[in-house]
Amino acid sequence: MTGSTDKGLFTARTLASRGTALGFGAVAALALAGCGGGEKREVAALAPSQVTTIGVNSYLWRASLDSVSFMPLLQSDSAGGVIITDWYVNPKAPTERVKVSIAILDQDLRADALRVTAVREVQQGGSWVPAPVQAATVQKLEDIILTRARDLRRDSIGG
């Protein structure tokens, strides 16, 4: 039959075009099926000191937050590794206040991946004036953070 009727009989032309479309679909399916195979890729295991789901070392980040948890936070950026506290006034010394900035510089758990700075002010004549911060204060805070980070790492790897 070469003619078409109202009953929907196929012509040689429509059968040929449908056959081409079916053939093309089969070839495309076979081509796509070959894309997913291949060798399995090995995933390199990260050292526990480099485990991170944020932009910086997660042990240092958590330890830093824990260490300044008594101070009000002004800013914290886990992608950039920056923690800035607001002014903290110790109830035992109401005429002095401290502000701390912590920068985590690397994804490794190392002492040189941490930088802590502190600003201290004392109240004189009703206003706050800058005062020196003892170097031992900053060093002590760094030691507290590093010790806490090592403890968190040791606890996470089961040792």
pTM > 0.95: yes or no: no
Taking every pair of Cα atoms in the chain, the longest distance, rounded to a whole number of angstroms, is 109
CA dihedral 77, 78, 83, 85 (to 10 degrees): 70
pLDDT, tens digit, 9 for 90 and up, residues 63-111: 999 999 999 999 999 889 999 999 999 999 999 999 999 999 999 999 9
Catalogue all structural domains in the chain, each as residue range(s) with its CATH number: 48-156 (3.30.530)
How far is the C-alpha of 154 from the C-alpha of 50, rounded, in Å? 13
Q: What percent of the chain has pLDDT over 90?
A: 60
